[in-house]
Amino acid sequence: MAIESVLSAGAKWTASGFATTPPEALANREATCRACPEWDAQALNATGRCRKCGCSTWAKIRMATERCPLGKWEAVSEPLQK
């Protein structure tokens, strides 16, 4: 993942007040990623990585402001606030 993408994701997440994905949406995101052929289960100490965008799926699915680069899930419209 390019440093620009990491910085952009971090900036969006910070601006949202560190909004996290609600449990039901989190479970759906995780299941979708695990079923995707672009998901590498062994990467990043077996926490998983998306081959398409290079993101740690463990982190990305928890950030309410993020979306799947393949369009399989979108940003959460009603996130949890920290």
Sheet strands (E) in the chain: 39-40, 49-50
Res 29 pLDDT > 90:
yes
Per-residue pLDDT reduced to its tens digit, 31-81: 999 999 999 999 999 999 999 988 889 999 999 999 999 999 999 988 776
* pLDDT bucket at 25, cuts 50 / 70 / 90: very high
The pTM assigned to this predicted structure is 0.85
Q: How confident is the model at residue 10 (pLDDT cuts 50, 70, 90)?
A: confident
